[in-house]
Every structure is written in C-alpha cells, then in structure tokens.
C-alpha cells in the first residue's frame, strides 16, 4: 500500500482539486465538496475542514495529532495579522468589517454572511447570503430538510455571536426568529466536534475499513495527500509569510463558516440576548414594529432573521393564508431587511405543497433568492441505493433547484437552474453536489459509480479483492489528475 | 453569438426609444414593460431612465458613444420620476450612478420602505390618494412605476378596477408618459386564467389586461423556452399595445431581440 | 341559399355609417386585436354625415380622440354622475331631434355587471346608437353571492346587442394559432398583432328574428372590406348528405337509415388511436456497459 507515493503525485499534479477530502470518483463532474475547495478564494482550509478530515478519514491518532498541530499553526498567522488588514476596498456597512461572520462576496465584493451550510453558500454565488438580501428555501413533499437548513442558519448566527475574538462588545450577531415555537432555540445544532470518543470510533472505523476496501481506496489516499498539502503550504507560509495572499484570505475568514452536527445541540442553549422570538400570530403591524425594535436594540450587530416553516398550519392561523395578510408581512420584512441592509439578512423556509401556485408565486416575488428542495420519491431513492450499494453515504436525497440568486437575478441575469444540483443531508453536514444519474450496473456494484474506464472493465471477477479495488482507485486518481 | 450583430434599441418609427412626441404636454401615454421572475427588467428600466435623462440608452449602444455626447435636458427639474413598490431609493441611486446619472437627474418616490407599516389598516382610497399625492403634475415628464400590481395583495379589498381607475389613470394624467413595469410570472406556470375561479388571479389578470389595453407599446422580457443558456439571457419583444394608434405621426416598430445580461452590462442582438 | 338579399359588404358599410337601425352595437376585442381600428371605421364611414354627434365615454382612453364631439372621462365618475353627464349631451327619449347620436363606450368592462342593463336602458332613445366595446379577455369578477345567478356581462351584452362585431387578428400561415393563443393567455403578445388588417366577424340580428353571420377581412388603411367566408353557408354544408338525391337511383336502397348512420359514425377508423397523443412515443433507454454516455454534458439526458 503506497499511500504516500500516490499522495505525492497528487500534490505535484493538480493541487487543490484532486487533493481534496471527500473527492470520490463519481461519474459526475466533480463532487461539490471538490468544487468548494477549489480555487483560491474558496479554499476553505479552516478548522471545520480539518475536523472533517479528521473525523471522516480516520487516519489514526498520530495523524490526528499532526493535524491538530497544523490547525494551530494554520490559525495563528490569521490571528496575529488581524482580519482587517486587506479589506480596505470593501463597501461601508453599519457592521464592522472585522466581524468574523462576514466577508466580501468574491463575485460582487458585497459584504456577505454564511448560511451555515457551506455548499449552500457556494451555490448562492457569493459564498453566502449578501447583507440586505433574503433567501426563500422551498420544499416539496412532507420532508423537513428546509427546517434543518433554517436551524443551521440560526445556529451559525449563535456561533458567530459566541466567538470571543470580537473586542469588548458582548456579541456581534443577533438572531430573530419569527416563530411560536420557543423550542426552536433548544433544537439548534451544535458545531461538529471531533471528540475523543469520536477518535476511538474512528479507530474502530479504521479497522473496519481494512475489510471494506472501497473505504480505503476512496478516502485514505486523498486524506493523506491533503494533509501533506497543508504541511507543504504552511511550510511555505512560514518561510515567506507575506507572499501567500490566499492563505491570508482563508485565515481571515476562518470563523466565517462552521460545520454543524445536526444530532447535537448547541450548548449552552441560546439566551434571550442571542435570540429573539416574535410570534407570527399577531397582526402584521405588531410583528413588524417588534421586529424593527429588536433590530434597533441590537444595532452594530449582524441581524439574522429566520422564518422557519413559513405558513405552517400549526403556527399560522387560516387568515394568514390570505394574500392581503401574508404578503404585507413579507413585504414589511423585506423592507426592514433593505432598510438595515448593512446588517440584516432574511432566511425563510416553506413547505410549498401547502400553498397554491398563486400564493407561492407572490411569495417568491418578494425574495431576492429562491431555491427549491425536491426530495426524491421512494422509487428514486431505491434506485440510488442500488446504484451506490457499496457507498450508502453517497445516496443523494433530492434535487435542489435554483429559481433566483441574490443580486444576480436582480440585475436581470437569468438564473433558473434546474436539475443540475442534488443535495444530501448527513449528520455532519448538508451537502450539495452536481447531479448526475448514477450508472446502475448490477454486475459491478462496487465500481458502479466509478469513471467509465472502470466500468468498461467487464472481464474482472467481481469479488471485492484488495488488489482489484486498489487498481480501480489508481485509475481514478489518474483520471482526476487529468482534469 | 459571434455571428450575430449587436443591435440598438428602437421603439418608435422616428428611430427613437422614447419619442419626443410623447411628452409634448398634449397627451398622456403608457408603455408597459412585462417581465418574469427569471428575467427581471432592471437593465431595461435603467436604459429607459437613461434615455430620458441623457437622450439615448448609452448603456445599450453598440458604438459605445461616450456619455459626453449626452445632451442633458435644459430643464432644471428632473424629467423623470421613479416610483417603486419593490426597491428603495438606494437601489436606484447605485444602479443609475454607474450610468453617470446623478441623484438630481431624477425624482424618486420610495413606495417600498416601510410601506406596509405606514399604511396597514388605512382605508384603501386614502392609501391610494396618499400615493398619488406624492407625484407632481407635469405633463412633460415621465413616470416609471414598478410593480403596481402588488397593491392588489398589499391593500385589503382593493380590486383591479379600483387600482386602474383610482391610481393608474390619474397617474397617467399627471405625466406625459407612464412606464408601468409589471410581472407576468403569475401566468407563466399557472393554468390559464380563463379557467380559474380564484378571485386573486382574476384580479391580477384583469389588471394586466387593463394596462395592456391602455399602452402604446408593450415590452416583454422572458427567458428562452429552452431554459438557461450561457450566451442568451432571454428575449425582448416590442409589440403594439391596445392604444397603439394614439399618435398619428409615429408608430411602434415591432421587433424582437435576444439579449444577454452579464454583470452590469446588457447587449441586444437581432433575432 | 340566398340567406339575405343584402350584399354582405354593403350591409357592413350600412352598419358602419349607422344607416342600419341598431340601437346597440357590441364590439368584442382582445389584447391581440383591439377594436380601435374598428372605431375608426365607424368614424370614417359616418364622417360624410354631418348630423352625427359622437359622444365618447372613456374609462380607458385618456387622450381625447379628435373625432369626438363630446368626451366624457368616466374613470373618476360614479355611475349616477356618468348618466347625468351623458344626458346633458343627448336628447331625451321623448324629444324629436334631427341627426344621429353615436355613444361610444370604451370600454363597458368597467361598468359593473349588475348595473349594465339599467345603464343602457336609462339612456336609450331612437336616435341614439350605442357602440359598446367589450374586452373579451378581461375576466369578469362576478359576486354571485346570495344565490343570485345573474348572467355575466358578456352574456348580457350578447343578448341585448342587435349587431355584434368581433375583431380578431389575421393569422398568417406561418404562425400557429394555438401558440399565439397560449402566449396571449400569458400576456406575451406575438408580433403582428393589432395590425391594420384584421378579421371581423359580423353577427346581425334581423327583424325577422333570424341572425346572420359573415366574416370579413378589413383593411383599415384602405377601408376595404372583403368577405372572407359566409358562415351561414358553411353551416349548411356541414350536413351535406342529401337523402333525396339518392332516392330512385337504383333498384336497391342507397340511403342510410338513422340507425345505420349512427352505427357508421361510431366506427373507429384505424390510426385514430395514434392521433390521441396520450402515451405513445416514449423512449425506453437502458444503459449498457459499452454505452458512451457523456457525463460532462448536462443536456445529454437520455430520459
């Protein structure tokens, strides 16, 4: 097993793309995780990623230790240099640019904050939701993926607020939730942590991975190469600390985005200083006045307005479904978001099956960006499960359709992108990747999602022997190098 | 796209975008801009404002004439008023400053910021007359009105006829040219309005029809039927409206363009 | 045949010049082809007659038409005020006056359904011709509450009018009429609509109780009216089997009985199935190992 060797090849070859954790050979155009970590602006080597590597890859305690060191070394220059250094050209906003939860959009340089879901940030085209804009997340069917995203969006705000690095003022972010359900605060997910218990788990996982070959082939090599890459990069950084601008950028935004574990809870639970609940079942004016008062009370903070499960019948009385009630409410919310556009973002989620087309169209027209989650039905899921027999974690849960993107759509650009992105929700993260119909091959279940080179190889015997899979994975690495 | 020639925007038979005959103080006309959610008309509204302020839509021009050629009107007060139910003043300030149009070149009526908080619960005729009061009478001027149909949703009990007769018609009388920007997204995915009983949908389509009958020209923006394309954003179609014959000396030149909007620039191509 | 002793074009000209007695003329239009050109036809044909007073009641038009003797902006008037204003321009029913009065209403859609009939009857008088424009594609908002099943405005006007003029765009051969209609329902107006040449369907209710139908092609620039087709004849031709003609031609019975005819109509012709595009034509495609499926190309989607 010559991991190191392969890792070196990867490093010299196409750095940044092939050497990405989670880069698994898939017959689509590169997974989203690869896409996210590609390119200088988005190379997210932050603590979250390292945690991610550590947890997913299970390279043993020594590797974990090394990564811990790395993350320390990686973060120190960012802190010492201070995040304000290279942001002079950024537009003025009411929130200080040093806020750890904002960064300029790579596309428009508008100040942008993370949705808490990294892949969603990427999909929005700004590495987040630009301040002063709004996002509507629709979902068809009766699943609850949208509420997961709403919770993560809120959690990200709480986490930003608790970052100690902001000066003397207590807190930098406030979350306003338009919901009756006060439990929402207690249900917010916590940051994903690689605890000691996890490490132990991973040891066991490693043992298992020796048996399950596909694990080895797909994950170990890239993981290893990645940590090599980090070592190599930071080595450079140490020698010539001022030259590598990319790294500065990464470090500056290291607390921009976090990874959340949806099975965990944020501890301690958010207090009233961090989160404000406003009941949607009052009259519209009362809601809006309360909302504005809360925003003014927390000025100089980022305000994240969350509307989870808009028009959920349990929370919204029937008269809220009247167009002349719900639309003024949303128009008012949008007006507030724009009025305080230096600090406000608005995220709403809705189960679109409950609404008729007219209501939905009117609601969509209010928001700057609209996306729609379309979970797969049972047959499609079964098909995917068959296709990814050996890698159940690759089964996507549905499509994510883009109907409008912030700022871009406003300019008049056409951004209706349908059936190009798929999502899957795991414990550790909500992933969005390019959608491709997997090749279902009953004979070769193991390599069913491999590149076509491997699929054509019908003459192999299909027992999952060590050597066979390794061969496959070598092929795959070569293929990804070629890209 | 390389094989296609860029085109200049022309609406009227005298080779103009907004003919000088329209705002001569003797007539009140309407131009209707319809769009979908995927093809928002920001660039077109900007170009029309630019035409009124600078004399021509330089942001769309093929020969990229420098703005120094622009002939600003000799009038002191702005020729154009922009009123929007969906955007605030800041939004237009930012967009138009890129086209070298200063804040003093147009008047802004912000019907977006705090509109709901300020008006909710008031009687509908009071709200409408308050809005009307914020426009001055100047039959030589142009008013751009964005998304008036949202009032059907924002004001309890307002009907399409009330919106037409109380608001649009009086507003037309206050200016020489009223440019109404309205969304037709509603009719895109829905079952045709002829077969629905939903009062809201009927009200909206009745309003859109009423505007179409009143207008001299209709400018429609829509995406390609084949969906998203890298080199085309959508089509701009210029057609005669119901009141196409109200000026005997000029007529609307029917035309269809493909257009591409990227970042802050839009190019027109002949279809 | 000889459904009418009139030459259809002459009848149309008589209507345009108001020589045909018709107290209520209904013109029907859509956004695809508005009746503005048709109005101009009335003005053109009646301009020779100096005794005509044209009262233009406008809900929609703001610019006063040059031909209007009196112009009433009805958009800000209550119905009662409109009626009283209108009366000042018109003779009362008892009054004997020379000359004709043409009252143009643009458009009647704005007068609410329940007031419609009362409004027209309160003004009507022998010398007055109403030319009422109705937009067919402006949906009606009827409040049929309290169980009152009052007819819609369209039905009312259709019933009351003696002459109905319906304008439609002329479709060229290249344009699919279906496409145009579906586009129009989305408020996408195709090019070539609202042209000066258009189709006009005339329905004229005669005193005898019959009603006759003609379709014309109208050119508003040259004021030429060309009969497009005689709809009365077409209706006759639909039932072109003439049983009498088959009598006594042979020693056996050539004609079909009603029962036979019914059976004949029910025969399903071959290929009729194929014309109902329900399910057929699905592409069934299964991947095989050697298939060259380009993953990079999002549009190469076999499904």
Question: For all residues of chain C together, what is the average pLDDT?
Answer: 81
- Which chain A residue shows the shortest CA-CA distance from B114? A335
The answer, yes or no, to whether residue B45 has pLDDT greater than 90, is yes
Chain C partners of A27 at a C-beta cutoff of 8 Å? 295
**pLDDT tens across C31-84, in order?**
999 998 899 889 888 887 778 889 999 999 888 888 888 999 998 888 889 999
Residues above pLDDT 70, as percent of chain A: 57
To the nearest whole Å, the CA of C78 is away from the closest chain A CA by: 26
| CATH number reported for the structural domain that contains residue A270 in this entry | 3.40.50.300
Report the residue from C62, C139, C189 with minimal CB separation from B206: C139
What per-residue confidence (pLDDT) applies to B79? Answer: 85
Nearest by CB to C186, from B159, B160, B184: name it.
B184
B150 and A327 in contact by Cβ < 8 A? yes
- DSSP state at residue A218: I
Q: What does the pLDDT read at residue C273?
A: 62
Site from A402, A455, A476 to mutate, C interface, most C CB atoms within 10 angstroms: A455
B63: helix, coil or strand? coil
Which runs of consecutive H residues, i.e. helices, occur in B12-123?
Answer: 42-54, 89-97, 115-119
Indicate if the pLDDT at residue B109 is higher than 80: yes
Cβ(B47)–Cβ(B267) below 8 Å: no
Q: Which residues contact C301 (CB under 8 A, 6 or more apart)?
A: A437
Cβ of C295 and A455 within 8 Å? no
CB contact under 8 Å between A362 and B186, yes or no, is yes
A303, A274 in Cβ contact below 8 A? no
Give the three-class secondary structure for B13.
coil
pLDDT score at B2 = 47
- The residue length of chain C stands at 303
| Domain presence at residue A19 | no
Residues C133 and C29: their CA atoms lie apart, in Å, by 7
CA distance B262 to chain A (A): 7
B111 has a pLDDT exceeding 70: yes
Q: In whole angstroms, what is the distance from residue A350 CA to residue A329 CA?
A: 15
Dihedral sign computed on CA atoms, order C8, C12, C17, C22: positive
Mean pLDDT of A240-264: 65
Superfamily (CATH H level) for C8-240:
P-loop containing nucleotide triphosphate hydrolases (3.40.50.300)
Mean pLDDT of A415-436: 89
User: What does DSSP say about strands B106-110 and C100-106: parallel, antiparallel, or unpaired?
Assistant: unpaired
Residue A125 lies in a domain: yes
Find the closest chain C residue to A483 by CA distance: C296
Closest residue in A to C292 (Cα–Cα): A452
- Among the residue ranges A73-77, A160-164, A386-390, C272-276, the one predicted with the least confidence is A73-77
Residue C108 C-beta-side C-alpha neighbours within 13 Å: 32
Cα–Cα distance list, A251 to A54, A89, A100, A131, A166 (Å): 19, 18, 10, 21, 15
B97 to chain C, minimum CA–CA distance in Å? 32
Task: Kindly report, residue by residue over C111-141, the tens digit of the pLDDT.
Answer: 888 888 888 888 888 888 999 999 998 888 7
pLDDT in tens, A266-309: 888 888 888 999 999 889 999 999 999 999 998 888 999 999 99
User: What are the start-end ranges of the H helices in chain B?
Assistant: 42-54, 89-97, 115-119, 124-133, 150-154, 160-162, 169-174, 186-189, 199-214
- Per-residue pLDDT band for A72 (boundaries 50, 70, 90) equals very low
Give pLDDT, residue A206: 61
How far apart (Å, rounded) are the C-alpha atoms in residues B82 and B177? 12
Q: What is the pLDDT of residues A3-28, one digit of tens each?
A: 444 434 443 433 334 334 434 344 43
pLDDT higher than 70, residue A392? yes
Tell me, yes or no, if B89 comes closer than 8 A to chain A by beta carbon: no
Dihedral sign computed on CA atoms, order C150, C153, C154, C158: positive
Are residues A455 and C293, on separate chains, in Cβ contact within 8 Å?
no
Instruction: Calculate mean pLDDT across residues A391-409.
Output: 91
C neighbour chains, 3+ CB pairs within 8 Å: A, B
CA gap B53, A308 in Å, rounded: 44
User: What is the model's pTM?
Assistant: 0.76
Residue A46: inside a domain? no
Domains of chain B and CATH, by start: 14-57+78-223 (3.40.50.300)
pLDDT tens sequence across A98-108: 788 889 999 99
Instruction: Give contacts of B113 with chain A, Cβ < 8 Å.
Output: 335, 338-339
A28 touching chain C per CB within 8 A:
yes
How far apart (Å, rounded) are the C-alpha atoms in residues B157 and A356? 20
pLDDT of residue A32: 39
- Say if the Cβ atoms of A358 and B200 lie within 8 Å: yes
CB pairs below 8 Å between A and B: how many?
Answer: 114
Minimal Cα distance from A289: which residue of B? B117
Q: Report the number of distinct structural domains present in chain A.
A: 1
In chain C, which residues have their Cβ closer than 8 Å to the Cβ of B205?
A: 139, 187
Indicate whether B187 pLDDT > 90: no
Residue A333 has pLDDT above 90, yes or no: yes
pLDDT at C262: 82
pLDDT at B1: 46
Angle between helix axes C79-89 and C116-123 (nearest 10 degrees) is 20
Cβ pair C303:A437 closer than 8 A: yes
C-alpha pair distances (Å), C10 with each of B166, C214, C224:
43, 12, 11
pLDDT 10s digits, C247-262: 666 777 777 777 888 8
Separation between Cα atoms, residue C280 and residue C283, nearest integer Å: 9
Report helix, strand and coil shares of chain C as percent, to nearest 5: 30, 20, 50
Name the phi and psi angles at A338, rounded to 5. Answer: -80, -35
Shortest CA gap C290–chain A (Å): 6
Which residue did the predictor score with more confidence, C216 or C94? C216
Q: What is the pLDDT of residue A207?
A: 62
Residue percentage of chain A with pLDDT more than 90: 35
Do the Cβ atoms of C293 and A29 come within 8 Å? no
pLDDT at A64 > cutoff 70: no
Q: Which of A28, A376, A437, A458 has the highest number of chain C CBs within 10 A, making it the mutation to test binding with C?
A: A437
Distances (CA, A) of B249 to A281, B19, B36: 58, 11, 32
- What residue of B is the nearest CA neighbor of A417? B228
Could you give the residue ranges of the DSSP H alpha helices within B164-241?
Answer: 169-174, 186-189, 199-214
- For residues B245 and A391, the answer to whether their CB atoms sit within 8 Å is no
Q: How many CA atoms lie within 13 A of C162 on its CB side?
A: 14
Note the pLDDT of residue B198.
83
Is the Cβ pair C290, A456 closer than 8 Å? yes
pLDDT at B247 over 60: yes
Residue of B nearest to C185 (CA): B192
Residues 6+ apart with CB under 8 A from A371: A123, A135, A136, A137, A138, A400, A401, A402, A403
Of A422, A439, A476, which to mutate for an interface test with C (greatest number of C Cβ within 10 Å)?
A: A439
The arithmetic mean of pLDDT across residues A197-222, rounded, is: 55
Q: DSSP string spanning A228-257? A: HHHHHHHHHHHHSTTT-HHHHHHHHTTTT-
Quote the CA–CA distance of A288 and B201 in Å, as a whole number.
27
Q: Nearest to residue A477, comparing CAs of A54, A22, A19?
A: A19
Is 60 exceeded by the pLDDT of residue A78?
Answer: no
Q: Is residue A363 in some structural domain?
A: yes
From A139, A137, A177, select the one nearest A157 (Cα to Cα). A177
Average pLDDT over residues C7-21: 86
User: Which residues of C, range 270-289, sit inside 8 Å of A by Cβ?
Assistant: 287, 289
Kindly tell me if the per-residue pLDDT of A62 is higher than 90.
no
All residues of chain B having their beta carbon less than 8 Å from the beta carbon of residue A339 are 88, 113-114
The reply to whether residue B208 touches residue C185, judged by beta carbons under 8 angstroms, is: no
**Chain C nearest CA to B29, separation (Å):** 8
Name the band, by pLDDT with cuts 50, 70 and 90, for residue A478. Answer: very low
- State chain C's maximal CA–CA distance in angstroms: 94
Tell me, letter by letter, the H, E, C secondary structure of A306-374. EEEEECCCCCCCHHHHCHHHHHHHHHHHHHHHHHCCCCEEEEEEEEHHHCCHHHHHHHHHHCCEEEEEE
DSSP per position, A100-151:
TTEEE-TTT--EEE--S-HHHHHHTTSSSEETT-EEEEEE-SS--HHHHHHH
In the DSSP assignment, the letter for residue C170 is: P
Query: Does A327 sit within 8 Å of B115, measured CB to CB?
Result: no
Say if residue A341's pLDDT is above 50. Answer: yes
Task: Identify the pLDDT of residue C280.
Answer: 57
The band of A387, judged by pLDDT with boundaries at 50, 70 and 90, is: confident
Give the residue among C104, C112, C90 at the shortest CA–CA distance from C61.
C104
d(C-alpha C229, C-alpha C227), whole Å? 6
pLDDT at B85 over 60: yes
Measured CA to CA, the distance from residue A57 to residue A23 in angstroms comes to 12
Does residue A52 surpass a pLDDT of 90? no
Q: What is the mean pLDDT of chain A?
A: 71
Contacts of C303 in chain A (CB under 8 A): 437
CB C117 within 8 A of CB C161: no
Q: Domain segments of chain C: what residues? A: 8-240
């Amino acid at each position: 097993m010559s991991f190191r060797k392969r890792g070196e090849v990867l490093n010299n070859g196409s750095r940044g793309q092939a050497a990405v954790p989670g880069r698994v050979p898939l017959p689509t155009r590169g997974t989203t995780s690869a896409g996210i970590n590609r390119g200088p602006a988005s190379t997210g080597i932050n603590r979250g990623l390292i945690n991610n590597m550590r947890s997913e890859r299970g390279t043993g305690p020594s590797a974990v230790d090394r990564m811990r060191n790395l993350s320390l070394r990686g973060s120190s220059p960012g802190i010492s240099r201070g995040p304000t250094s290279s942001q002079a050209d950024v537009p003025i906003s009411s929130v200080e640019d040093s806020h750890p939860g904002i960064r300029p959009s790579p596309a428009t340089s508008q100040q942008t904050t993370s949705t808490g879901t990294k892949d969603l940030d990427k999909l929005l085209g700004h590495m987040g939701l630009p301040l002063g804009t709004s996002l509507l997340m629709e979902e068809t069917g009766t699943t609850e993926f949208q509420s997961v995203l709403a919770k993560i969006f809120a959690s990200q705000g709480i986490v930003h607020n608790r970052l100690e690095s902001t000066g003397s003022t207590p807190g930098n972010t406030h979350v306003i939730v338009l919901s009756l359900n006060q439990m929402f605060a207690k249900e917010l997910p916590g940051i994903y942590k690689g605890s000691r218990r996890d490490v132990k788990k991973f040891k066991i996982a490693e043992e298992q991975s020796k048996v399950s070959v596909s694990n080895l082939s797909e994950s170990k090599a890239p993981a290893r190469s990645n940590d090599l890459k980090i070592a190599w990069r930071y080595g450079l950084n140490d020698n010539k600390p001022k030259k590598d601008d990319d790294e500065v950028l990464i470090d500056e935004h290291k607390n921009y985005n976090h990874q959340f574990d949806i099975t965990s809870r944020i501890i301690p639970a958010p207090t009233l200083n961090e989160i404000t609940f406003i009941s949607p079942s009052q009259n519209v004016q009362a809601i809006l006045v309360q909302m504005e008062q809360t925003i003014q009370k927390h000025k100089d903070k980022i305000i994240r307005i969350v509307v989870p499960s808009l028009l959920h019948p349990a929370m919204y009385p029937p008269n809220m479904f009247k167009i002349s009630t719900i639309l003024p409410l949303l128009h008012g919310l949008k007006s507030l978001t724009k009025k305080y556009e230096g600090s406000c973002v608005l995220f709403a989620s809705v189960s679109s099956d409950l609404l008729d087309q007219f209501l939905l169209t009117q609601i969509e027209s209010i928001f700057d960006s609209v996306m729609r989650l379309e979970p797969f039905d049972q047959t499609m899921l079964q098909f995917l499960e068959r296709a990814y027999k050996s890698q159940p974690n690759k089964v996507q849960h549905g499509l994510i359709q883009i109907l409008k993107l912030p700022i871009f759509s406003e300019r008049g650009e056409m951004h209706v992108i349908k059936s190009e992105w798929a999502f899957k929700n795991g414990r550790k993260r909500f992933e969005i990747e390019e959608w491709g119909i997997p090749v279902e091959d009953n004979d070769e279940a193991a390599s069913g999602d491999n590149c076509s080179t491997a699929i054509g190889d019908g003459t192999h015997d299909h027992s999952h022997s060590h050597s066979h899979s390794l061969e496959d994975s070598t092929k795959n690495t070569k293929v990804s190098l070629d890209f | 796209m390389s094989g296609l020639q860029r085109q200049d925007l022309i609406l009227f038979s005298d080779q103009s975008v907004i003919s000088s005959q329209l705002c001569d103080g003797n007539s009140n006309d309407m131009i209707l801009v319809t769009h979908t959610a995927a093809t928002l008309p920001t660039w077109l509204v900007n170009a029309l404002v630019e035409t009124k302020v600078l004399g021509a839509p330089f942001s769309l021009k093929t020969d990229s004439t420098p703005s120094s050629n622009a002939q600003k009107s000799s009038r002191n007060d702005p020729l154009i008023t922009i009123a929007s139910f969906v955007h605030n003043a800041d939004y237009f300030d930012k967009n138009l400053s890129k086209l070298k149009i200063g804040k003093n070149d147009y008047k802004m009526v912000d019907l977006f910021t705090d509109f709901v908080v300020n008006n909710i619960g008031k009687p509908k005729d009071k709200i409408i007359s308050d809005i009307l009061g914020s426009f001055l009478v100047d039959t030589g001027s142009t008013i751009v009105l964005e998304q008036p149909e949202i009032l059907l949703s924002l004001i309890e009990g307002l009907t399409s006829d009330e919106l037409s007769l109380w608001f649009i018609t009086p507003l037309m009388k206050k200016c020489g040219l009223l440019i109404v920007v309205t969304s037709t997204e509603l009719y895109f995915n829905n079952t045709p309005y002829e077969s629905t009983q939903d009062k809201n949908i009927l009200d909206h389509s009745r309003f859109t029809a009423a505007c179409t009958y009143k207008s001299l020209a209709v400018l429609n923006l829509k995406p390609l039927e084949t969906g998203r394309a890298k080199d085309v954003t959508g089509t701009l179609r210029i057609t005669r409206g119901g009141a196409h014959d109200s000026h005997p000396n000029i007529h609307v030149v029917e035309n269809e363009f493909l257009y591409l909007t990227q970042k802050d620039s839009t190019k027109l191509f002949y279809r | 045949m000889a459904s009418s002793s009139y030459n259809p074009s002459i009848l149309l000209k008589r209507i345009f010049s108001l020589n045909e007695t018709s107290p209520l003329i209904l013109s029907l239009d859509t956004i695809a082809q508005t009746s503005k050109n048709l109005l101009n036809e009335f003005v053109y044909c009646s301009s020779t007659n100096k005794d005509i007073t044209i009262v233009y009641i406008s809900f929609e038009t703001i610019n006063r038409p040059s031909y209007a003797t009196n112009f009433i902006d009805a958009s800000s008037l209550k119905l009662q005020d409109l009626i009283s204003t209108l009366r000042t321009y018109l003779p009362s029913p008892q009054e004997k006056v020379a000359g004709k009065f043409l009252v143009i209403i643009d458009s009647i859609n704005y007068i609410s359904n329940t007031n419609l009939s009362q409004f027209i009857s309160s003004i009507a008088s022998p010398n007055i011709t109403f030319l009422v424009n109705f937009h067919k594609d402006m949906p009606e908002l009827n409040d049929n509450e309290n169980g009152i099943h009052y007819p819609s405005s369209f039905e009312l006007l259709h019933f009351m009018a003696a002459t109905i003029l319906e304008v439609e765009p002329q479709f060229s051969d290249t344009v699919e009429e279906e496409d145009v209609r579906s586009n129009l329902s989305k408020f996408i107006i195709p090019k070539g609509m609202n042209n000066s040449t258009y189709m006009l369907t005339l329905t004229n209710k005669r005193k005898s109780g019959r009603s006759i139908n003609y379709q014309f092609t109208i050119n508003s620039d040259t004021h030429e009216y060309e009969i497009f087709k005689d709809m009365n004849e077409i209706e006759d031709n639909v039932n072109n089997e003439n049983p009498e003609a088959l009598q006594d031609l042979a020693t056996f019975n050539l004609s079909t009985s009603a029962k036979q005819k019914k059976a004949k109509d029910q025969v399903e012709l071959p290929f009729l199935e194929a014309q109902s595009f329900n399910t057929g034509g699905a592409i069934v495609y299964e991947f095989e190992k050697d298939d060259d499926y380009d993953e990079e190309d999002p549009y190469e989607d076999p499904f």
